[in-house]
Amino acid sequence: MIKKEHITTVYEYDSAADLSSDLQKIIIESKEAALRAYAPYSNFNVGAAVLLSNGEVFSGNNQENAAYPSGLCAERVAIFYANSKYPNVPVLAIAICAFNKNGILKTPVPPCGSCRQVLLESEIRFKTPIKIILVAQQTIQIIENVSELLPLSFQKDNLFE
């Protein structure tokens, strides 16, 4: 037997002021996007904002549907929107923020499995790490790349083994 460990490193900040102006910008955009989410069923509003390597910023939010599987998460809305506008420009970072009826959450919310897979595909596609920024009331967590969030990932090579 061989034991293998996968360790995820998370950097935690008390304030966005400790981050670059580009990252501060997408944090603000993610919060604003969350407030515009269409979440009448869960009342769980999520916003995401992506920073592209050309400096462009795109935001998205969760879009619910009475048939729950038909909705879409904020992260995928934002990344698909960015990729549809600039299909050859890598995503450098994504900020994610969530609100409920009491306001912005106290603890950061990471992307779901489907969003992690989509983010990983983008990271692999452009051979560029995507910084994940998880925003909460008084805490900001940063993971340096999607591979840290999805260490045992399904990738295109798995299709041809």
Specify if 159 maps to a domain.
Answer: no
What pLDDT digit, counting tens, does each position of 82-111 carry? 999 999 999 999 999 999 999 999 999 999
Specify if 160 maps to a domain.
Answer: no
Angle, helices 21-35 vs 74-85, to 10°: value is 120
pLDDT of residue 91: 98
38: DSSP letter: B
CA 89 to chain centre: 17
pTM of the predicted model as reported, rounded to 2 decimal places: 0.94
What pLDDT digit, counting tens, does each position of 52-61 carry? 999 999 999 9
Q: Please give the tally of structural domains in the chain.
A: 1
Specify if 99 maps to a domain.
Answer: yes
Specify if 154 maps to a domain.
Answer: no
Burial class of residue 12 (count of CB atoms within 10 Å of its CB; 0-12, 13-18, 19+): exposed
Specify if 127 maps to a domain.
Answer: yes
**Residue 140 near residue 161 (C-beta atoms within 8 A):** no
pLDDT of residue 150: 87
Specify if 100 maps to a domain.
Answer: yes
Specify if 58 maps to a domain.
Answer: yes
What range defines the domain where residue 100 resides? 11-149
CATH, residue 107: 3.40.140.10
Specify if 4 maps to a domain.
Answer: no
Helix, strand, coil percent values for the chain (each to nearest 5):
35, 25, 40
What pLDDT digit, counting tens, does each position of 32-43 carry? 999 999 999 999
Task: List, by residue number, the catalytic residues.
Answer: 75
Report CA-CA distances (Å) from 67 to 12, 64, 70, 117. 36, 8, 6, 22
CA 160 to chain centre: 28
pLDDT of residue 36: 97
